[in-house]
């Protein structure tokens, strides 16, 4: 499957995820979300807590059931009931890196077991020697020493533990990695190490990332394209630099304005915009998902879209 | 410049842990001036929380101020032994707001009563007068419909609103100093921006001196008049926000700023610090950052650097400022920041 001459690895179409709590009405965590991820790129999903960004990642990897829409991986549908074979393939080819390395590693297991657990589950190794070689290779790939395999997680620092989390994903030889806030629980000086590692692995192995985060400064640095999500809906999607220079949707603009910049002079000049969802009057004109500029999509109704067009036009005259 | 309202000199804080002694704060000194916001930046374990907790007698039971002095309103807080002495300071004169607003409130009492408790204790107000004061404070911290909110429970408030309530409790007794310990880390960025705005407003209205603890340099740029950088239990650089951001001197400050993705160049690797912070159970010789500093000098491993003055308000604990030291170029992002600032001044 391809679009604009580039291969689409993951295609999410009109995805809907519901959670049934006690109330009769289900809670809709993700409503009608569509996006696609090209092979080899880093696609960012940004939103605040409760926006549904993690739920989308979990739906792709089949942890959360979908209530509507479809998810395609290399052109094949992977949501709902799928064959055992395809399930196995998905389990192997799509991997996840979690937020908190302090909570996501089994404290009672040695690194050797933690890293090879996926291999055991899929029996994806010839013999014991092959498994050990794979563990060693995975640890080396993430910059850890092979002898760390016989240690327990508590012997490692936060950054090293996150590397173990990455090794555990890599050993499956995945094509697509969902990184759910992989650095937000880490210290500032360690974040750079893990970001560098993720970029290095991408270049070396041709990996594709779905990078889920709330921190826009990190997203700007690492992603190629970004989607901004709020209350279970994507409101804007564009190439990263385009989104940061030409934010259109009021939610995107408010989110961008709220990010603190490590520069006192710029910070003192900055004005924080507060997003008020009631600015949208969708009673007459219903909102549509519109490609307003090549590769730049935004959610809005007809009057809003023409206002955004005008905004883009004005911006061209900026110095 | 205004006189310091609080002055900590050579403070040493130790903890006893499973029979071993850990030195969490190693002779740290800091002044807080009247009416300013001082940000303390550092990574987890650098001692920023422990240091400020020693100002209000809130160290864990296994910790103590070993030496040094903390002068506030003519008293040396480091000498305080009994809880009764602290009661006249903690909450009343120096109050603290913690990171997580979800756990700071009692879920079984209405927020009105939780604030009223403080008002009654410290102002001696009773009954209707106390309630009126509480409603006033709620309005002050930007909570709409304060009369209705007064009778509600914490679970009826969002995270940002709960943090406003916690701040209301802290300012209810008119403290001179307010310490914020990562108050927005648990909040979304848009809410964070609103809370930072609130802190600035309250500071003006209540004439507060503020200590703001954080690891987020973006937040520091937003709130701070002055910045103190902490590493391994010591203040290693201190100056005005502009001095620290645009003319940093200590290699650790360089590394901290350079590793920010905001200052990185897309596609190129980010500047990263290798290794891990030192073990505080052991004695630290020389400059604590030396083992992680690729450009460390010989003396960095041997002798602890003193404070060198850069300007009357800016000082740093690094041998690089010694006249005998070779000239070491800071990393590219730091040079870019300096150039940008010079361009701004020109």
Q: How much is the ipTM here?
A: 0.83
Query: Is the pLDDT confidence value at A159 over 80?
Result: yes
What is the C-alpha to C-alpha distance for residues B322 and A247, in angstroms, rounded to an integer? Answer: 48
What is the C-alpha to C-alpha distance for residues B15 and A259, in angstroms, rounded to an integer? Answer: 37
CB contact under 8 A, A262 and B193: no
Query: Is the pLDDT confidence value at A83 over 70?
Result: yes
What is the C-alpha to C-alpha distance for residues A296 and B256, in angstroms, rounded to an integer? Answer: 34
* pLDDT for A319: 61
> How do the domains of chain A map onto residue ranges?
2-246, 247-319
Query: Is the pLDDT confidence value at B1 over 60?
Result: no
At CB < 8 Å, which residues of chain A contact B? Answer: 48-49, 157, 159, 187-193, 195-196, 199-200, 214-218, 220-222, 254-255, 257-267, 272, 274-275
Lowest mean pLDDT across A115-119, B61-65, B183-187, B303-307: B183-187
Query: Is the pLDDT confidence value at A66 over 90?
Result: yes
Query: Is the pLDDT confidence value at A281 over 90?
Result: no
**CA dist list (Å): A158 to A102, A166, B167, B171, B225:** 7, 13, 31, 36, 32
Q: Does the domain spanning A2-246 belong to CATH 3.40.50.300? A: yes
* pLDDT for A84: 92
Q: What is the CATH code for B4-224?
A: 3.40.50.300
Lowest mean pLDDT across A141-145, A252-256, B30-34, B97-101: B97-101
Mean per-residue pLDDT, A252-259 = 92
What is the C-alpha to C-alpha distance for residues A124 and B32, in angstroms, rounded to an integer? Answer: 61
* pLDDT for B3: 76
> How do the domains of chain B map onto residue ranges?
4-224, 242-345
Residue B266's closest chain A neighbor by CA?
A: A221
**Residue A138, number of CB atoms within 10 A of its CB:** 25
**Residue B65, number of CB atoms within 10 A of its CB:** 21
Contact present, B221 and B196 (Cβ < 8 Å): no
Query: Is the pLDDT confidence value at A318 over 80?
Result: no
pLDDT band with cut points at 50, 70 and 90 for residue A171: very high
CB pairs A-B closer than 8 Å: 113
Mean per-residue pLDDT, A272-280 = 88
Residue B195's closest chain A neighbor by CA?
A: A258
What is the C-alpha to C-alpha distance for residues B137 and B141, in angstroms, rounded to an integer? Answer: 6
CB contact under 8 A, B260 and A217: yes
CB contact under 8 A, A189 and B256: yes
Mean per-residue pLDDT, A207-233 = 94
Q: Which of A157, A188, A222 sits opposite B256 (nearest CB)?
A: A188
Q: Residue holding tokens 């609130």?
A: B198
Average pLDDT, rounded, for chain B = 92
Query: Is the pLDDT confidence value at A59 over 70?
Result: yes
B242-277 tens-digit pLDDT = 999 999 999 999 999 999 988 888 888 888 888 778
Rg (alpha carbons) of chain B, rounded to whole number = 21
DSSP bridge pairs for B213? B40, B181
* pLDDT for B2: 62
DSSP bridge pairs for B124? none
Q: Residue holding tokens 């903390």?
A: B70
CB contact under 8 A, A221 and B264: yes
pLDDT band with cut points at 50, 70 and 90 for residue A25: confident
Contact present, B171 and B199 (Cβ < 8 Å): no
Query: Is the pLDDT confidence value at B124 over 70?
Result: yes
Mean per-residue pLDDT, B81-102 = 88
CB contact under 8 A, B242 and A49: no
B2-60 tens-digit pLDDT = 679 999 999 999 999 888 999 999 999 999 999 999 999 998 889 999 999 999 999 99
B126–chain A nearest CA distance, Å: 38
Q: Which of A221, A258, A264 sits opposite B189 (nearest CB)?
A: A258
């Amino acid at each position: 499957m391809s679009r604009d001459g580039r291969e689409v690895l993951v295609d999410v179409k009109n995805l809907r995820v519901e959670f049934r709590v006690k109330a009769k009405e289900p809670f809709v965590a993700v409503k009608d979300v569509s996006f696609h991820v090209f092979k080899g790129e880093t696609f960012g999903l940004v939103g605040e807590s409760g926006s549904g960004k993690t739920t989308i990642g979990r739906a792709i990897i089949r942890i959360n059931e979908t209530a509507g829409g479809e998810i395609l991986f290399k052109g094949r549908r992977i949501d709902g009931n799928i064959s055992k074979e395809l399930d196995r393939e998905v389990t192997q080819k799509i991997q996840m890196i979690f937020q908190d390395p302090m909570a996501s590693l089994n404290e009672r297991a040695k690194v050797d077991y933690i890293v090879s657990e996926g291999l055991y589950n899929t029996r994806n190794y010839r013999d014991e020697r092959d498994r050990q070689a794979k563990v060693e290779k995975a640890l080396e790939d993430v910059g850890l020493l092979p002898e760390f395999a016989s240690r327990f997680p508590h012997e490692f620092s936060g950054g090293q533990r996150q590397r173990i989390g990455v090794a555990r994903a890599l050993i499956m030889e995945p094509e697509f990695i969902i990184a759910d806030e992989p650095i937000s629980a880490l210290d500032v000086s360690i974040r750079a190490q893990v970001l560098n590692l993720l970029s290095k692995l991408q270049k070396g192995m041709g990996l594709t990332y779905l990078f889920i985060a709330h921190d826009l400064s990190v997203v700007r640095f690492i992603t190629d394209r970004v989607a901004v999500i709020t209350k279970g809906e994507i409101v804007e999607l564009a190439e990263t630099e385009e989104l940061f220079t030409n934010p259109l949707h009021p939610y995107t603009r408010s989110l961008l304005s709220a990010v603190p910049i490590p520069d006192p002079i710029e910070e003192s000049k900055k004005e924080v915009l507060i997003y008020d969802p009631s600015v949208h009057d969708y009673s007459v004109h219903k909102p549509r998902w519109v490609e307003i500029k090549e590769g730049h999509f935004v959610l809005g109704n007809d009057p809003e879209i023409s206002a955004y067009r005008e905004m883009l036009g004005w911006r061209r005259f900026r110095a | 410049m205004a006189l310091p309202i609080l002055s900590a000199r050579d403070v040493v804080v130790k903890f006893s842990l499973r029979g071993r002694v850990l030195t969490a704060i190693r002779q740290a000194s800091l002044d807080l001036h009247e009416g300013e916001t001082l940000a303390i930046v550092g990574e987890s374990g650098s001692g920023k929380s422990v240091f400020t907790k020693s100002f209000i007698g809130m160290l864990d039971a296994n910790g103590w101020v070993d030496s040094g002095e903390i002068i506030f309103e003519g008293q040396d807080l480091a000498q305080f032994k009994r809880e009764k002495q602290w009661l006249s300071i903690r909450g009343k004169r120096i109050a603290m707001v913690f990171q997580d607003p979800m756990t700071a409130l009692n879920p079984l009492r209405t927020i009105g009563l939780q604030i009223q408790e403080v008002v009654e204790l410290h102002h001696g107000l009773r009954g209707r007068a106390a309630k009126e004061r509480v409603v006033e404070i709620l309005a002050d911290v930007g909570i709409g419909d304060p009369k209705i909110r007064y009778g509600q429970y914490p679970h009826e408030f969002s995270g940002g609103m709960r943090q406003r309530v916690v701040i209301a409790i802290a300012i209810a007794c008119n403290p001179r100093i307010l310490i914020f310990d990562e108050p927005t880390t648990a909040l979304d960025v848009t809410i964070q921006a609103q809370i930072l705005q609130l802190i600035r407003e309250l500071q003006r209205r209540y004439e507060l001196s503020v200590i703001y603890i954080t690891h987020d340099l973006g937040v520091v740029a937003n709130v701070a008049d002055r910045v103190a950088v902490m590493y391994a239990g010591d203040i290693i650089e201190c100056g005005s926000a502009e001095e620290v951001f645009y003319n940093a001197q200590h290699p650790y400050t360089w590394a901290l700023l350079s590793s920010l993705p905001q200052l990185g160049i897309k596609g190129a690797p980010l500047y990263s610090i290798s290794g891990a912070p030192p073990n505080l159970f052991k004695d630290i010789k020389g400059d604590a950052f030396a083992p992680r500093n690729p450009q460390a000098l010989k003396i960095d491993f041997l002798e602890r650097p003193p404070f060198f003055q850069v300007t009357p308000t800016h000082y740093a604990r690094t041998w690089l400022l010694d006249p005998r030291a070779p000239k070491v170029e800071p990393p590219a992002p730091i040079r870019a920041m300096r150039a940008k600032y010079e361009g701004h001044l020109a």
